[in-house]
Amino acid sequence: MIYLDNSATTEPDPQVLETYVKASNRYFANPSSLHRLGNEAEDLLESARSQIKGLLGYGRIIFTSGGTEANNLAIRGAAHANQEKGRHIISCKTEHPSVLEPLKQLEKEGFEITLLSVDRKGAIDLADLQQALRVDTILVSLMQVNNEIGTIHPLADIRRMLNNHRALFHVDAVQGAGKLLLSEQEMPDLLTVSAHKFHGLKNSGVLAVHKAELEPILFGGGQEGGLRSGTVSVPNAAALAKALRLATPNPDHLEWNAELRSFFAGYKDIYIVSPSSAAPHILAVAIAGMRGETLVGALQQEGVIVSTSSACSSKNKQASHVIEAIGLPREYRDGTIRISFGAMTTHEDISELKKRFHKAHQLIKGVEQS
């Protein structure tokens, strides 16, 4: 099997699994307990936290159940903590549902939400962002890398724009962490990371915080400094730190992306959706007059796993909100597939993908024409 759906999730690294199993066996105690075993678990938890602080460059790390919870905490937590300063929030139409849905809830609570439009490349216009900023804007939330087409937002430019504004800057880095470096000039006040996107484990994420006031969205025992109640999973924390230490940008992704763009350009009925400046580990293409799920199924028959869009919306029959927002021509709108690389992708996988895609494409076109 050739697995090329790494933006949905990645295969756990064996070293990460080893860390998780060892920590589960030895440090199973509740890190909040006062006895010796609890203290040992707490020591490992704080060691993992310290490593993640150093790797991400943030002063505060809050462990969460994943990217969705971290995004909800960043957005709802920042909104409620700063509502005395203003009730206006800016984001973008192509954000992940874990950003858009909490924004919808805040709108019902009386917050004003501005969603920036994007062009065909999925890019915002910085002039639109500048114009949307108001005195009462308290938060700007934009993803680092779009999960469906790979568009990269200009974080350094946005950071620079917000340096002279009171609004907090939140970045959903779920698709970029471990694959793209984040420079000091790009660093937001709030950063979301999810472990299973870089060969870590599911149900494990962090919200990294730099001088931002937050209110909790979960209430209970007051763990994580009162911002995330619930017993922290020490094995998950240790495994996340391990996965983050192992994650590095892979220069082969750029080569494979270019190789596949050249390959798909040879088909008259294929449109390359991802812009040339997109993150190299994501390549979305669309086939005219064909449904994406038909091609996904045909490729699966050939032993290749890809997806139609994000895993969260891939079972929907309608075009995703990202495809709608970029205004893809109607003949391509239902035929988008996403190919995404991970650390375990090989040169042989890319060569085989091209052969098997050609076979699947010929088969489907033949069926359609019969």
CA atoms within 13 A on the CB side of 361: 19
In the chain, where does DSSP find H-type helix?
14-26, 36-56, 67-81, 97-108, 126-132, 155-162, 234-246, 252-264, 292-301, 321-326, 347-369
Check if the beta carbon of residue 144 is closer than 8 Å to that of residue 180.
Answer: yes
Q: Active site includes 312?
A: yes
| 32 burial level (CB within 10 Å; 0-12, 13-18, 19+) | middle
Check if the beta carbon of residue 198 is closer than 8 Å to that of residue 242.
Answer: no
Contacts (Cβ under 8 Å, ≥6 apart) of 331: 288, 289
Using only C-alpha atoms, the chain has a radius of gyration, in whole angstroms, of 21
**Strand 88-92 to strand 2-3: parallel, antiparallel, or no bridges (unpaired)?**
unpaired
∠ at Cα 151 (145, 152), nearest 5°?
55
Contacts (Cβ under 8 Å, ≥6 apart) of 156: 183, 185, 186
Joined together, the tokens standing for residue 211 give 């001088």
Joined together, the tokens standing for residue 84 give 């005395």
How far is residue 220's CA from residue 211's CA, in Å, rounded to a whole number?
A: 24
Q: Which of 17, 312, 349, 352 is catalytic?
A: 312
Longest dimension (CA), the chain: 73
> What positions carry a catalytic annotation?
312
